[in-house]
Amino acid sequence: MKPDARAEAARVVAAVFAGRALDDALSSMATLQDPRDRGFVRVLASAVLRDWRALDALITRMTQRPPAPPVRALLAVGLAQLRSLDTPEHAAVSATVNATRALGQPKSRGLVNAILRRYLRERKALDATLPRVWLPPWLADRIRQDWGTQADAVMAQSRVPGPMTLRIHRGRMTLDAAIKALESAGHTVRPIQGMPDALVLAQPVDLAGLPGFEDGWLSVQDASAQRAADLIAPRDGERILDACAAPGGKTAHLLERAAAQVTAIDCVAERLERVGDTLVRLGLQATTLAEDATTPKDWWDGQAFDAILIDAPCSGTGVIRRHPDIPWLRRPADIDRLVALQRKLLDRLWPLLRPGGRLVYATCSVLSAENALQVESWLADTPDARPRQLPNWGETVGPGQRIQPGGDFDGFYYSVIEKSD
């Protein structure tokens, strides 16, 4: 049977709601070889996830009994085309109905056809009853609590896909030279004010066709994530620990900035392989360790570090615009678990820093429990730690700066902490 992108998108959506990460589910698409088809599946699945509360409410209202998960996912794929994509109505309905066979659900053909056509007939009345906030209520409540009057903007911008941002390897190419090379290859790019290594592509592209990627003079990394190297400010010869290194973007950026001795740790060996692949592509070297950063007795050689980067495991709520599965995979209890892990990382790694050294704590979260409140609580219990005032490129909250998601930036939080001499 010929592969069907809509059926594949339904399988991906169903996998996400069974607990699988979107990127993981997309990577297992064995039936679609054409990059255009695979890209279309990503667009479809992402559109469903960004509108899931409304789609789920529509399906519940228009069906007498809950459809099987694959059928529910396919209905959502069909409705998403009608609600948020530019698919012509006739094509969206007919192609989605035809996808029932490729999905292995041919008996649902009539149901899918009836639901999609009913939505077109009754769209105005049905849409009037839909939830106004696209995020799960618990997460929306947390964002309102933490962001106040800015909460609506945070939630709205989290629904808008972020741009494709490049990081130029300054050891191999200047920013101006990179702009000329990319423009010569037909790409439209622009720099970001105050970001010395960043360029934004006007249109996302496949990395395989991006000049400079395989040659190691550029990488893909959001502008907010690039702030980490600015704050660590590595110097030649320094010993630096990247405590949660995978997939390796920040590790590489540090080495692009200075000839430092970087130790990159990640507790998952498979993820650490990605760090190694990144370093090889960029022609960089670091010590990589598949270890648990919270148990330094198992891997630390006793020599203090000049700087430590803790890009802490977190909820990822600052990068929802790139990973729309995050709201549906996270649960309230996850936040408490992650906060405990973040605190453990701070407690266990602080003794590894030399007097006068600096620690950068970072998360791609918009939740205060993982950010300002976390660092404030830890500082209160750590007498030899003092926060450093940061450049005013975000919003000062507690002992750090938070970056609101939107435009060129993902949602992030940074705090720089110095150790008393």
CATH architecture of 5-127: Orthogonal Bundle (1.10)
Is residue 202 a known part of a binding site?
no
Determine the residue type at 12: V
Burial 323-347 (b: 16+ CB within 10 A, else e): bbbbbbbbeeeebeebbebbbebbe
Is residue 266 a known part of a binding site?
yes
Is residue 302 a known part of a binding site?
no
Q: Is the pLDDT of residue 378 over 90?
A: yes
| Positions marked active-site | 364
DSSP characters over 334-368: HHHHHHHHHHHHHHHHGGGEEEEEEEEEEES---G
> Tokens representing 103?
């999905």
Is residue 178 a known part of a binding site?
no
Provide the pLDDT for residue 33: 74
* Mean pLDDT, residues 374-387 taken together: 98
Instruction: List the chain domain ranges.
Output: 5-127, 135-161+230-421, 163-221
Task: Give residue 294's pLDDT band: very low, low, confident or very high (50, 70, 90).
Answer: very high
Is residue 292 a known part of a binding site?
yes
Cα–Cα distance list, 64 to 41, 54, 59, 94, 170 (Å) = 28, 17, 9, 22, 60
Say what the pTM is: 0.94
Residue that is written with structure tokens 């995050």 in the block: 326
CATH architecture of 135-161+230-421: 3-Layer(aba) Sandwich (3.40)
Provide the pLDDT for residue 1: 57
Is residue 314 a known part of a binding site?
no
Cβ(35)–Cβ(136) under 8 Å? no
Nearest CA-CA partner of 207 in 152, 237, 165, 249: 165
Q: Which range among 25-34, 211-220, 294-303 shows the weakest confidence by mean pLDDT?
A: 25-34
Provide the percentage of residues in the chain whose pLDDT is more than 90: 92
Cα gap 276→283, rounded to integer Å = 10
Is residue 307 a known part of a binding site?
no
* Mean pLDDT, residues 363-388 taken together: 98
* Mean pLDDT, residues 365-393 taken together: 96
Is residue 34 a known part of a binding site?
no
Cβ(208)–Cβ(215) under 8 Å? no
Cα gap 366→53, rounded to integer Å = 21
Q: How many whole angstroms from its chain centre is CA 123?
A: 33
Name the phi and psi angles at 365, rounded to 5: -120, 150
Tens of pLDDT, residue by residue over 100-131, are 999 999 999 999 999 999 999 999 999 999 99
If you average pLDDT over every residue of the chain, what do you get? 95
Cα gap 57→269, rounded to integer Å = 41
163-221 has CATH 3.30.70.1170 classification:
yes
Are 5-127 and 135-161+230-421 the same fold in CATH?
Answer: no
Task: Give residue 38's pLDDT band: very low, low, confident or very high (50, 70, 90).
Answer: confident
Task: Give residue 32's pLDDT band: very low, low, confident or very high (50, 70, 90).
Answer: confident
Residue that is written with structure tokens 């990394």 in the block: 221
Nearest CA-CA partner of 72 in 56, 86, 95: 56
* Mean pLDDT, residues 203-231 taken together: 93
Q: Is the pLDDT of residue 392 over 90?
A: no
CA angle at residue 268 from 264 to 269, to 5 degrees?
Answer: 80
Provide the pLDDT for residue 365: 98
* Mean pLDDT, residues 244-264 taken together: 96
Residue that is written with structure tokens 């007919």 in the block: 94
Rg (CA), the chain: 23
